[in-house]
Amino acid sequence: MEHRGYSYKEIQVTNWRDVTSTMYQCNDVDLLKHTDVSVFTKFTEKRMQEAIDYYIDNVEYHKSLKPLTEKAVKDFYKLNTIKD
């Protein structure tokens, strides 16, 4: 399946009550390259297409978040590393 040039697929998931449902999953590397997300799922195809639209329309926003996230992770590990 495809929306605006980015691929996603229909998947079957089973919950803890053994009920199977259809969901939609996207792990398109080109779509998500500006985010810290590697895969996401949605309950409906409409919601999947809306999420893809969101990632396409907000590339600059997600690009601006990446350095902040990287700094936060670096600072976290710096403060929380076990010291001998």
Say how far apart CA 52 and CA 39 lie, in whole Å. 12
For residue 38, report the phi and psi dihedrals to the nearest 5 degrees: -110, -20
pTM for the full predicted model: 0.83
24-81 tens-digit pLDDT: 999 999 999 999 899 999 999 999 999 999 999 999 999 999 899 889 989 998 888 7
Sign of CA dihedral 34, 37, 39, 43: negative
Amino acid at 15: N
Q: Are 20 and 13 in contact (CB under 8 A)?
A: yes
Backbone φ and ψ of 20, nearest 5°: -95, 135
Q: For residue range 40-49, what is the model confidence (pLDDT) as tens digits?
A: 999 999 999 9
